[in-house]
Chain A
Amino acid sequence: MKEALVILRDINAGYHSEAVLSDVNLEVYPDDFMGIIGPNGGGKTTLVKVILGLLPPFSGSVSFPRGKPAIGYLPQVSQIDKSFPITVKDLVNSGLKSRNNWFPQLTAGQRKQLHQMLDEAGLSAIASRPIGDLSGGQLQKALLCRALINRPGLLILDEPDTHVDKAFEQELYSWLRELNQEMAILLVSHDIGTISPLVKTIACVNGQLHYHPSNQLSEEVLKVYNCPVDLIAHGPIPHRVLKSHDHA
């Protein structure tokens, strides 16, 4: 029996005593690639914040049976102030967890890690550019580098496919598949159509959480889960990737 990376038990959480999540239970395993879907305001981001430790839950517990892993976090791009005068290099460096990551000057080790990361993502050429100069895809890539530079055991992505073009989306997905060999991935999206072929399991979050141990979802199942995600919105033949399945 493999040991879980993160265990959420009976989580009730929200803002200003107003509950967004109630009685949420979830286990994340080291090789998971979980899609977290649900309607806007359903609590997807709240769930992420509870796992990250940014939002203490009203009740319930978050535990890490294998010890707290390094967590890579990619926030929604709308949270990022693109006009802030910070370079790609400094942005990516801010993901380095290091006790002496204080002074303007980087250590040799830090610089090596930084260059490796930028090389891997193909961002070396624009390392010294301010983030305001980047395209949507480049910014998303730089933010992903910031999340990855620490070589996390758990990667949490909040809507990574907004404001990017289709070509970048494909590049992103193949990169994520590769990364999943090394780390657990939680991918938040309101767009179940595009992430469905990518993820291994799905969690529907709409106040409560329903775990679905497969990436196959039908409209009926979503209805049972009380998870009103619009399947029709994804192309002319939405059921191409959303076959009915044996779990229902």
Chain B
Amino acid sequence: MRDLLLVFEYQFFQNAVMAAILTSIIAAMVGTYVVSRKIVFIAGGVTHASFGGIGMAYFFGINPFLGAAVFAVLSSTGIEWISGRGKVREDSAIAILWSLGMALGIIFVFMTPGYTPNLLSFLFGNILSVGRSELYLLGAFCLVTIAVFAVFFRPILYTAFDPEFAKVMGIRVAFFRYLMSVVIALAIVFSIRSLGIILVLSIFTLPQITAMLFTRNFAFIMPLASLWGITGSLSGLLASYIMDIPAAASIIFFLTLQFLLIRLIVTLRMLMLRKLSQKPVKG
């Protein structure tokens, strides 16, 4: 047990804990929007498209996350633009973007002379190497996300639910749709740092569907999903230290385990309540 507590004294682990908490909060809010609108597939497309930016950034010798951010924002707003025009099948467009991004990334990484450091950490994440300055950046983006949802809560909710009606009510639907597609893209890029391209999608969905076992009120799902994101990712982080397994994979495993366990408890509770109510009352 003392060994276990000792790990919290390491700077790198403290940073990882902070990164897990901040990423959970960002992904909880953005993921609630994504899951409610049923656009998880778009988030997947944007995530993988960003790998093209990472590859290109390597090739030109700039910061890979800058490349990822540019590609993510462009693909996310691009999908929004395509879906607004309704001429191209949206799901096909996303699939093309998804694989094209990966292809571009692979080509550019291949063309980059010499060894490309940290390539695997982009695919699988590396939460244990998050530095101080990155934490500040993550914290700042977390505040921006909270501010966007706090100030524009109602227009965001209403345009997500029924954009046509929102337009009739005079809400600037296009503005809020594009605003959210930029927020989604940046949230994904910030989360890739910790969880990696291949695993990141789960923190945008698992805590949300866990929260939805308890409430189907948009405003309540966000804080509850933050909580489930934090508990799941911290247990995953701790388990990764104890068992010496990769952190991101461990986090995803615990988020899933947590969902299944809670789902089981909720179902059992419901069955018990039903049984109790069926019992004839005596006396």
Which residues of A line the B interface, CB within 8 A? 16, 52-54, 71, 73, 75, 79-81, 84-87, 90-91, 93-95, 97, 101-104, 128, 130, 132, 146
A84 and B37 alpha carbons, distance in the complex (Å): 7
Q: Given A85-B36, A85-B216, A97-B170, do A103 and B161 touch, yes or no (CB 8 Å)?
A: no
A75 and B161 alpha carbons, distance in the complex (Å): 13
Asked if B164 and A94 make an inter-chain contact with CB atoms under 8 angstroms apart, the answer reads: no
Asked if A90 and B218 make an inter-chain contact with CB atoms under 8 angstroms apart, the answer reads: yes
Asked if B153 and A54 make an inter-chain contact with CB atoms under 8 angstroms apart, the answer reads: no
Q: Name the one of A81, A90, A97, A146 contacting B157, with C-beta atoms under 8 angstroms.
A: A90
Within 8 A of A (CB), among B33-68: 36-38
- A residues within 8 A CB of B38? 81
Asked if A94 and B217 make an inter-chain contact with CB atoms under 8 angstroms apart, the answer reads: no
- Classify the interface of chain A: helix, strand, loop or mixed: loop
Q: Name the one of B153, B164, B216 contacting A102, with C-beta atoms under 8 angstroms.
A: B153
Nearest Cβ on chain A to B35's Cβ, whole angstroms? 8
Q: Given A73-B168, A101-B154, do A130 and B217 touch, yes or no (CB 8 Å)?
A: yes
Q: Is B115 an interface residue (CB 8 A)?
A: no
Q: Is B221 an interface residue (CB 8 A)?
A: yes
A103 and B150 alpha carbons, distance in the complex (Å): 6
Chain B, interface size category, equals 20 to 34
Q: Is B158 an interface residue (CB 8 A)?
A: yes
Asked if B150 and A104 make an inter-chain contact with CB atoms under 8 angstroms apart, the answer reads: yes
- A residues within 8 A CB of B168? 52-54, 71, 73
Q: Given A94-B169, A104-B219, do A86 and B161 touch, yes or no (CB 8 Å)?
A: yes
Provide the B134-166 mask, 1 if CB < 8 A to any CB of A, else 0: 000000000000000011111101101110111
A97 and B161 alpha carbons, distance in the complex (Å): 16
A53 and B165 alpha carbons, distance in the complex (Å): 11
- B residues within 8 A CB of A53? 168
A79 and B168 alpha carbons, distance in the complex (Å): 15
Asked if A87 and B162 make an inter-chain contact with CB atoms under 8 angstroms apart, the answer reads: no
Q: Can you report 19 residue pairs joining A to B where beta carbons are below 8 Å apart?
A: A16-B87, A54-B164, A79-B164, A81-B161, A84-B161, A85-B216, A85-B217, A86-B157, A86-B161, A90-B157, A90-B218, A91-B161, A94-B154, A95-B169, A97-B170, A101-B154, A102-B153, A104-B150, A104-B154
Nearest Cβ on chain B to A201's Cβ, whole angstroms? 24
Nearest Cβ on chain B to A92's Cβ, whole angstroms? 11
Provide the B165-206 mask, 1 if CB < 8 A to any CB of A, else 0: 111111000000000000000000000000000000000000
- B residues within 8 A CB of A101? 154-155
Which residue of chain B is the closest to A102 with respect to CB atoms?
Answer: B154
Q: Is B100 an interface residue (CB 8 A)?
A: no
A132 and B212 alpha carbons, distance in the complex (Å): 12
- A residues within 8 A CB of B150? 103-104
Given contacts A86-B217, A128-B217, list 19 more A-B pairs with CB under 8 A. Answer: A16-B87, A53-B168, A54-B167, A73-B165, A75-B164, A79-B162, A85-B36, A85-B217, A86-B161, A87-B216, A90-B218, A90-B219, A94-B165, A101-B155, A102-B154, A103-B151, A103-B154, A104-B219, A132-B216
Nearest Cβ on chain B to A36's Cβ, whole angstroms? 17
A73 and B165 alpha carbons, distance in the complex (Å): 7
Q: Which 4 A-B pairs have the closest CB atoms?
A: A130-B216, A85-B216, A94-B158, A104-B153
Which residue of chain B is the closest to A71 with respect to CB atoms?
Answer: B168
- B residues within 8 A CB of A75? 162, 164-165
Q: Given A85-B212, A86-B161, A94-B166, do A103 and B218 touch, yes or no (CB 8 Å)?
A: no
Asked if A103 and B162 make an inter-chain contact with CB atoms under 8 angstroms apart, the answer reads: no
A92 and B198 alpha carbons, distance in the complex (Å): 40
Within 8 A of A (CB), among B219-255: 219, 221
Asked if B221 and A85 make an inter-chain contact with CB atoms under 8 angstroms apart, the answer reads: yes
Within 8 A of A (CB), among B258-282: none
A103 and B87 alpha carbons, distance in the complex (Å): 35
Which residue of chain A is the closest to B85 with respect to CB atoms?
Answer: A16
A103 and B151 alpha carbons, distance in the complex (Å): 5
- A residues within 8 A CB of B152? 102
Which residue of chain A is the closest to B32 with respect to CB atoms?
Answer: A85
Q: Which of A53, A80, A84, A146 has the most CB of B within 10 A?
A: A84
Which residue of chain A is the closest to B152 with respect to CB atoms?
Answer: A102
- A residues within 8 A CB of B218? 85-86, 90
Q: Which of B150, B153, B154, B160 has the most CB of A within 10 A?
A: B154
Nearest Cβ on chain A to B178's Cβ, whole angstroms? 17
Nearest Cβ on chain A to B1's Cβ, whole angstroms? 40
- B residues within 8 A CB of A87? 216-217
